Structure 1
Amino acid sequence: MLGQLLGSLPRFSPVSLRSLHCAMKPLVVFVLGGPGAGKGTQCERIVEKYGYTHLSAGDLLRDERKKPDSQFGELIETYIKDGKIVPVDITISLLQRAMQQIMEVNAQKNKFLIDGFPRNDDNLQGWNRTMNGKADVSFVLFFDCDNETCIGRCLERGKSSGRSDDNRESLEKRIQTYLQSTRPIIDQYEQTGKVRKVDASKSVDQVFTEVQEIFDREG
């Protein structure tokens, strides 16, 4: 059943692929950190100052889940509520579609912050398999924050966010998933010198000061 659904996922058409190949290649910064580390808040500031386009893997999945005609809505909802990682083909397909739509409008808008991805080795292998030669990963922006601070922030956010996963039970599951699956990916990138770490336990302004130093240095 899942295989049949994945077979109907939206893909780059050959024409779109040729157009992107002729245009500037997407330059990607992966933004990683635990739930509540402040990734979305900092991405908003990076977009404003440095002209990137922010793509949140989680937001794309949640938006897809809400579509009444989505084939994957129920499946995505189940994974998210259980704190599990959605199958990689679904996530990459949504990221591909978002980048394609933006670059079709303006090929010069080729700098993307991809937040909350890759979240495990399957994500990373799927990205490498699907996007090899089609996008360049500049570096990984890692927001490092202790678990209790992250949970506290998410619980506060949950009072107004309406997100079904902003509750303690789901958060504890998500933290464990992050520690078991995402931290090893960060460690892998660290070995290749691609990780830029920020102390995300500080105030929003203090964190952004560190972020600016990184982006000013990286160019």
Structure 2
Amino acid sequence: MMAPSSTSTKSSKPIIIFVIGGPGSGKGTICERLKTKYGFTHLSTGDLLRDEVASGSELGKELNQIMQSGKLVSNQHVLNLLKRSIEKNLSKSKGFLIDGYPREINQAIEFEKQIAPCSLVLYFHCSDTVMMERLINRGKTSGRVDDNVETIKKRLQIFHSNSDPILEYLKPKLAKIDGEKSIESVLESVELVIAKLMHV
């Protein structure tokens, strides 16, 4: 039997799930479904940055200047935004899906150091061929200029070189999901992993 105090300490730690997958791996769609099913908060770093800029705050103005000049927003800025969102939603959320972060190994290390340990890493694995096909098709329907073959190749290259060390570092918490299957099959695989994590 565990002492009540240790149980309550354990349950007060937020469930943090890093969602990692290349462009076109389908992770955004799955995040939306998980958010609805489990009462998770879906935090996309891109959305957080855009929302802060749109708010017109002092920080938003600073971030806008950085992005307008084509520079990358510092990791500390992104961490602060994530931390603030997690704290704001802590009491009403069952857990957090961190989408599009970490993109580099030092971001994973700093997140765990400054915010909370990651509970699980969902890695949506797809071959480059499949991701490329999906992105080209998406480009045809959406008219997105960044979905041409050369750009896609570069994006995939950057994704692999950045994410491989992260996946190695977080290996004990890693759940590799076959992202090439249908949305329903992928969802089923993810739900099995989450059920274990939440002991449901």
- After TM superposition, the score normalised by the length of structure 2 is 0.78
Q: Does 1:185 align with 2:166?
A: yes
> What are the residue-to-residue correspondences of 1:113-192 with 2, within 5 Å?
113-131=97-115, 135-158=116-139, 165-190=146-171
| Matched residue type, 1:204 | I
CA distance in 2, matches of 1:90, 1:168: 32
Once the two structures are TM-superposed, the CA of residue 194 in structure 1 deviates from its matched residue by 0.7
CA distance in 2, matches of 1:32, 1:96: 19
Gaps of 5+ in 1: 1-20, 80-84
CA distance in 1, matches of 2:190, 2:166: 21
CA distance in 2, matches of 1:159, 1:63: 28
Percent of aligned positions that are identical: 37
Matched position secondary structure for 1:136: coil
| Matched residue type, 1:151 | M
1:112 aligned residue: 96
* Equivalent pair of 1:65/1:76 in contact (CA under 8 Å): no
CA distance in 2, matches of 1:188, 1:143: 17
* Equivalent pair of 1:30/1:140 in contact (CA under 8 Å): yes
Q: Does 1:59 align with 2:43?
A: no
1:90 aligned residue: 77
Matched position secondary structure for 1:143: strand
Size of the alignment, in residue pairs? 185
* Equivalent pair of 1:57/1:117 in contact (CA under 8 Å): yes
Once the two structures are TM-superposed, the CA of residue 158 in structure 1 deviates from its matched residue by 4.1
Once the two structures are TM-superposed, the CA of residue 31 in structure 1 deviates from its matched residue by 0.7
Q: Does 1:72 align with 2:53?
A: no
* Equivalent pair of 2:123/2:175 in contact (CA under 8 Å): yes
* Equivalent pair of 1:25/1:110 in contact (CA under 8 Å): no
Once the two structures are TM-superposed, the CA of residue 28 in structure 1 deviates from its matched residue by 0.3
* Equivalent pair of 2:39/2:94 in contact (CA under 8 Å): no
Once the two structures are TM-superposed, the CA of residue 25 in structure 1 deviates from its matched residue by 3.4
Q: Which has the higher helix share?
A: 2
CA-to-aligned-CA distance 1:174-211 (integer Å, 9 cap, x gap): 21221111121012211xx2101100011111111111
Once the two structures are TM-superposed, the CA of residue 62 in structure 1 deviates from its matched residue by 4.2
CA-to-aligned-CA distance 1:81-118 (integer Å, 9 cap, x gap): xxxx7431122122122222223xxx142510101211
Once the two structures are TM-superposed, the CA of residue 65 in structure 1 deviates from its matched residue by 5.5
- After TM superposition, the score normalised by the length of structure 1 is 0.72
Matched position secondary structure for 2:121: strand
CA RMSD of aligned residues (A): 2.8
Q: Does 1:203 align with 2:179?
A: no
CA-to-aligned-CA distance 1:1-51 (integer Å, 9 cap, x gap): xxxxxxxxxxxxxxxxxxxx9x93322011111111111101111112111
CA distance in 2, matches of 1:76, 1:147: 29
